Amino acid sequence: ERAEVVLSKVEPFLKKRSGPYDIVFLDPPYAMEMLPVLRLVSGSGLLKQGAIVIAEHFKKQASPETAGALALFREAKYGDTVLAFYAMNSRGQEQEAGGQEERP
């Protein structure tokens, strides 16, 4: 197997259309809201079936339960940092209208 590490802002990276990927790690600035970034990745077509997306964020920020076709399945907290683990939902489709997108 091979790995590729890319240091880039998400928008230019998604325009390149490389992939598909099994694992994507997102480390945005801590003040950045996670939901829009997760939605971009979810809708990019760059995730393999069964892909995992790991998003790092500040502990005071809630991890969205869902974002597009991604669903939160685990959180790990380390000091001020949270790692939120997402997987594609069972159909790889976005939540239907009215589905909860963020935790209260």
**Digit-coded pLDDT (tens) for 91-102:** 545 554 334 444
Domain assignment present for 43: yes
Domain assignment present for 49: yes
Domain assignment present for 96: no
Q: Are 81 and 75 in contact (CB under 8 A)?
A: no
Domain assignment present for 42: yes
The pTM score is 0.79
User: For the chain, what is the domain count?
Assistant: 1
Write out the two tokens for 74: 């685990």
Domain that holds residue 24: 14-88
Domain assignment present for 47: yes
Q: For residues 96 and 67, give the distance between their C-alpha atoms in angstroms, rounded to a whole number.
A: 11
Domain assignment present for 69: yes
Write out the two tokens for 50: 């069964």
Give the residue among 54, 39, 50 at the shortest CA–CA distance from 90. 50
Residue 101: per-residue pLDDT = 42
Q: What confidence tens digit (pLDDT) does each residue in 34-81 have?
A: 899 999 999 988 899 889 999 999 999 999 999 999 999 999 999 999
Domain assignment present for 66: yes
Q: What is the CATH number of the domain that holds 72?
A: 3.40.50.150
Name the least confident of 5-14, 24-33, 63-72, 88-97. Answer: 88-97
Name the least confident of 12-16, 22-26, 56-60. Answer: 12-16
Domain assignment present for 98: no
